Amino acid sequence: MAENPQSFCPTGLTLPRPVDTHVHLSLGGDPQDNARLHLAAGVAAVRDAGDRDGCLKGVTWPEPLRVIRTGPALFKAGFYGAFLGDNRDLSLVEKIASAPDGFVKVLLTGLVSFDEYGKVGPRQWSREELREIVRLAAAAGRKVMVHVNSDAACRDAVKAGVSSLEHGYFIAPDTLKMMADQGVFWTPTVAAMANQVDDPGGRFTREQIQIIKRNYKRHLEMIAYACELGVKLTIGTDSGSYNVPHGVSYLREMELFVEAGIGTPEVLRIAALNGRELLNLPPGPLLTVDRGCQPAEFLEISRKSMLQKRHGSK
């Protein structure tokens, strides 16, 4: 992938602080405590990807973390998503208009099966319905991020004009080429799958663990191919999901990108630049790091930079 000329200086890389483009602050603990964990990990901004009926409205977030909220996700009654979706008796237009920070989260498909390789939960919206959601969102000044798995659903989401695909398990190379051509972002959330191999709660059978391994290994292959094609990848952790803790999962996601075969400097740029481009965030202060800087070092530099800001030093 071509290097971003704005990200280099004679002594190394100059990059803004990293952002996490997919978290769930309302899951896995107290929202404010969860937000503090992201700060402690060196993450400067997060996009919350759905909170049931807007339960995060009015929460005060710790400085200097920037929290971008989608509000409750759009889903159909009886399908996956009630725990983070919009269960209110409102019209689609009203639900879209209530999205607080410029993004609408749509649940297009269900979860990935751990019992049958390649199988995902049922689809909720047709391509035409999704296209109409994108149109309504654009009219309200909002972009659409879509929870989606299966190549067919991913392809329809791209054709419908969404801003980003979230998860995207079983996406195919041709769909990735389409995404590269159209500038659609991809947040693969591979740690959310890879972390399940450890299975600390003993939820899964030996056979399910093997399917989980197969799922995330294929996902790594597609992430590497997407990078080669120029797809705009971002680091999103799905923090708050089972066995995906807030904060520390950011480093895990970055390390999995490296495991996929993406060079470490490129992973740092994905974390810092692509995420900010997706979320339309200003570059903020630039951090200078050595060319050999590793993800953990980059996050520590970012963490210290934010602590200095918090304490009023320069």
Which tens digit of pLDDT belongs to each residue from 147-204? Answer: 999 999 999 999 999 999 999 999 999 999 999 999 999 999 999 999 999 999 999 9
Q: d(Cα 256, Cα 101) in Å, to the nearest integer?
A: 29
Q: What is the pLDDT of residues 27-51, one digit of tens each?
A: 999 999 999 999 999 999 999 999 9
pLDDT at 5 over 60: no
Decide: 190 and 168 in contact? Cβ < 8 Å. Answer: no
Q: d(Cα 182, Cα 231) in Å, to the nearest integer?
A: 9
Q: d(Cα 120, Cα 170) in Å, to the nearest integer?
A: 9
Q: Which two tokens stand for residue 171?
A: 């996406």
SS3 of residue 37 by DSSP: helix
* pLDDT over 70, % of the chain: 95
- Tokens 């947040």 belong to 187
Decide: 278 and 102 in contact? Cβ < 8 Å. Answer: no
What per-residue confidence (pLDDT) applies to 11? 53
pLDDT at 234 over 80: yes
H-helix or E-strand spanning residue 270: none
β-pairing, 12-16 vs 8-9, is antiparallel
pLDDT at 3 over 90: no
Q: d(Cα 270, Cα 312) in Å, to the nearest integer?
A: 29
Decide: 38 and 23 in contact? Cβ < 8 Å. Answer: yes
* pTM, two decimal places: 0.94
Q: Considering only CA atoms, which of 60, 61, 59 is closest in space to residue 38?
A: 61
Q: Which two tokens stand for residue 203?
A: 């939820």
Q: How far is CA 210 from the centre of its chain?
A: 25
Q: Considering only CA atoms, which of 301, 189, 245, 191 is closest in space to residue 33?
A: 245
Q: What is the pLDDT of residues 250-272, one digit of tens each?
A: 999 999 999 999 999 999 999 99
SS3 of residue 14 by DSSP: strand
What per-residue confidence (pLDDT) applies to 312? 61
Query: 64: which DSSP letter?
Result: T
Q: What is the pLDDT of residues 59-108, one digit of tens each?
A: 999 999 999 999 999 999 999 999 999 999 999 999 999 999 999 999 99
Q: Which two tokens stand for residue 76?
A: 């159909």
CATH topology of domain 5-310: TIM Barrel (3.20.20)
